[in-house]
């Protein structure tokens, strides 16, 4: 490691929100390049939680809050999935009273507390000159808050939903699509063996990229997405027709976790909210399966068709990254270092129209990245449009 007397500065890095394959390669890319450029790198543990809970006292063991990163440490983890720095959905600006760290309870005693002043002091205590948060729009929205408070932030987008505004690609998306296609192909053999309809629930709270793109790639006959409330009778009719025309007598639909019935709302596992105000989604796949089975006889001469229901969940976010989620994080990490070496901050590293670039950090909170339904989704057929691919980017739908 670079001699401490020659260190140009200190870079902090963290991963927040859900885990995805590609986080460890991004951490490795930042760390190796930074060290070779003369910087020290500190990994902040558990997303925003570690830097929020840190105790500014040299006598206190803060090893669960941060770690000094070396090439050996990141090389061991860099080829694996998940995040060795761990993660959380902590939002320092909205900390409930019962989650305020013990050493701060005398200062912060409201039902909801803004611990941002402590975060800024903690970053200064660690001598962090630049901060690189890796996360989705929730994690990075707090990065925007810190930037507005004077912290030098360069952000890296990740989320399997691929819905961070300003970029065509977020770390984790390609592996999610790859796994979705693969697991649909695994389960279609069971659906075909028993002549059933197959319902696969996939991630996607507000944006349906993880359902629409695998469907476009041939993984499913139909898909329903958060951007368009669907008619369950129409979906059932289409699925029964798809099954009838299939020689193996089965059909497949991908259902985004945030998809909604016509006239309905999102389906939640429970009503507990995280610090970003989100309830845990889950169950729409079960509801679609039950309704499709009940309605199937109407379109099948009175005979009910059984349904296989599978929620992919963590199966698409665990394990090793695919090729794209190994290459893009490497590039994003180096892009972040390029900016830091130029003294530039307040930026989000991005992929746009097939080229690496960067954008103003504020773009994260200034817009929403959703599927352009009119352009990409056939609402009559509940599947993607298959037309006008010329000059489109690699993953077709960019949410422009």
CATH number of the structural domain spanning residue 266: 3.40.50.460
* CATH code (residue 10): 3.40.50.450
Helix (H, G, I), strand (E, B) or coil at 68: strand
Assigned domain for 83 exists: yes
Region 346-365: mean pLDDT is 95
Q: Both 329 and 345 in a single domain? A: yes
Which pair of tokens denotes residue 148? 């507005």
Answer whether 11's CB lies under 8 Å from 39's CB. yes
pLDDT value for 391: 84
Same domain, 162 and 208: no
pLDDT in tens, 91-114: 999 999 999 999 999 999 999 999
DSSP 282-293: --HHHHHHHHHH
Give yes or no: residues 129 and 196 share one domain. Answer: no
Instruction: Please state which of the ranges 66-80, 255-269, 310-324, 350-364 shows the lowest mean pLDDT.
Output: 255-269
* Arithmetic mean of pLDDT over the chain: 93
* 80 within some domain: yes
Provide the 3-class DSSP secondary structure of residue 5: helix
Q: For position 276, what pLDDT does the model report?
A: 61
- Give the C-alpha separation, 110 to 158, whole Å: 32
Helix (H) or strand (E) holding 66: strand 66-68
Q: Give the separation between CA 376 and CA 383, rounded to whole angstroms.
A: 9
- Is residue 273 within 8 A of residue 279, CB to CB? The reply is yes
- Look at residue 394 and tell me if it is in a domain: no
pLDDT of residue 233: 97
Q: Given a cut of 70, is residue 219 above it in pLDDT?
A: yes
Q: Does pLDDT of 24 surpass 50?
A: yes
Q: What are phi and psi of 386, to 5 degrees?
A: -110, 75
Give the C-alpha separation, 166 to 383, whole Å: 25
| pLDDT interval class at 382 (50, 70, 90) | very high
**253 and 341: one domain?**
no
**Is this model's pTM higher than 0.95 or not?**
no
Half-sphere exposure of 126 (CA within 13 A, CB side): 29
Residues 93, 161: Cα–Cα separation, whole Å:
24
pLDDT score for 3: 47
2 pLDDT tier (thresholds 50, 70, 90)? very low
**36 and 79, same domain (yes or no):** yes
Ramachandran category for residue 305: left, alpha or beta (phi over 0 → left; psi -120 to 50 → alpha):
beta
Distance separating alpha carbons of residues 80 and 72, to the nearest angstrom? 14
User: Average of pLDDT values for 10-39?
Assistant: 96
Task: Indicate the pLDDT class of residue 396, thresholds 50, 70 and 90.
Answer: confident
What pLDDT sits at residue 65? 97
Averaged pLDDT for residues 128-156: 97
Residue 279 has pLDDT above 70, yes or no: no
pLDDT for 265 beyond 90? no
pLDDT of residue 79: 81
Same-domain pairing of 42 and 96: yes
Residue 235 sits in the same domain as residue 294: yes
228 in the same domain as 294:
yes
Report whether pLDDT(210) > 70. Answer: yes
Q: Residue 266 in contact with residue 235, Cβ under 8 Å?
A: no
Enclosing domain of residue 181: 174-313+373-384
Catalytic site residue 161? yes
pLDDT of residue 272: 66
Residue 150: pLDDT above 80? yes
- Average pLDDT of span 117-137: 97
* Predicted local confidence at residue 1, as pLDDT: 42
Tell me the mean pLDDT in the region 249-268.
Answer: 91
- Percentage of residues in the chain having pLDDT higher than 70: 94
Task: Reply yes or no on whether the pLDDT at 397 is more than 90.
Answer: no
Based on the fold, state whether residues 73 and 111 are members of the same structural domain: yes
Q: Given 129, 161, 168, 242, which residue is catalytic?
A: 161
Reported as a pLDDT band with limits 50, 70 and 90, residue 387 is confident
Tell me, yes or no, whether 391 lies in a domain: no
Query: What's the CA gap between 237 and 41, in Å, rounded?
Result: 56
Q: What is the mean pLDDT of residues 129-154?
A: 97
Non-local (6+) Cβ contacts of 61 within 8 A are none
Indicate whether 64 belongs to any domain: yes
Domain count, the chain: 2
Band of pLDDT at residue 5, cut at 50, 70 and 90: low
User: pLDDT tens for residues 280-300?
Assistant: 666 899 999 999 999 999 999
DSSP string, 131-193: EEEEE-HHHHHHHHHHHHTT--BEEEEB-TT---TT-S--BTHHHHHHHHHHHHHHHHHHHHH
196 close to 250: Cβ distance less than 8 angstroms: yes
Structural domain contains residue 100:
yes
The whole-angstrom separation of Cα 60 and Cα 253 is 53
pLDDT reported for residue 274: 63
Question: Which has the closest alpha carbon to 317: 80, 22, 21, 16?
Answer: 21
């Amino acid at each position: 490691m670079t001699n401490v007397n020659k260190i140009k500065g200190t870079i902090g890095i963290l991963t927040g929100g859900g885990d995805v394959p590609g986080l460890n390669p991004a951490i490795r890319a930042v760390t190796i390049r930074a060290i070779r450029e003369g910087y020290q790198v500190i990994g902040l543990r558990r997303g925003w939680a570690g830097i929020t809970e840190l105790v500014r006292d040299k006598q206190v063991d803060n090893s669960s809050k941060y770690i000094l990163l070396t090439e050996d440490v990141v090389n061991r983890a860099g080829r694996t999935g998940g995040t060795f720095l761990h993660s959380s959905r902590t939002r320092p600006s909205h900390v409930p009273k019962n989650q305020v760290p013990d050493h701060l309870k005398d200062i912060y005693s409201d039902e909801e507390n803004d611990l941002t002043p402590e975060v800024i002091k903690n970053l200064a205590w660690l001598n962090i000159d630049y901060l690189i948060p890796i996360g989705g729009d929730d994690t990075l929205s707090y990065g925007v808050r810190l930037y507005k408070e004077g912290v030098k932030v360069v952000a890296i987008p990740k989320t399997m939903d691929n819905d961070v505004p300003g970029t065509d690609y977020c770390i984790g998306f390609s592996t999610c699509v790859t796994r979705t296609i693969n697991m649909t192909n695994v389960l279609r053999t069971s659906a075909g063996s028993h002549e059933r309809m197959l319902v696969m629930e996939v991630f996607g709270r507000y944006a349906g990229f993880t359902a629409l793109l695998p469907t476009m790639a041939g993984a499913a006959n139909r898909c329903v997405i958060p951007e368009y409330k669907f008619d369950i009778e129409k979906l059932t009719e289409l699925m029964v027709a798809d099954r009838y025309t299939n020689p193996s007598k089965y059909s497949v639909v991908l259902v985004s976790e945030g998809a909604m019935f016509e006239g309905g709302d999102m389906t939640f596992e429970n009503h507990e909210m995280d610090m970003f105000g989100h309830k845990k989604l889950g169950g729409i796949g079960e509801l679609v399966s039950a309704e499709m089975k009940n309605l199937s006889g109407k379109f099948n001469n009175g005979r009910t068709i059984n349904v296989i229901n599978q929620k992919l969940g963590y199966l698409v976010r665990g394990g090793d990254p695919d090729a794209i989620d190994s290459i893009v994080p490497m590039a994003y990490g180096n892009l972040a270092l390029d900016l830091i070496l130029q003294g530039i901050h307040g930026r989000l590293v991005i992929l746009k129209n097939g080229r690496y670039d960067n954008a103003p950090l504020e773009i994260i909170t200034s817009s929403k990245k959703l599927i352009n339904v009119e352009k990409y989704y056939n609402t009559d057929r509940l599947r993607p449009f298959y037309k006008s691919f010329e000059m489109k980017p690699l993953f077709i739908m960019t949410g422009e």
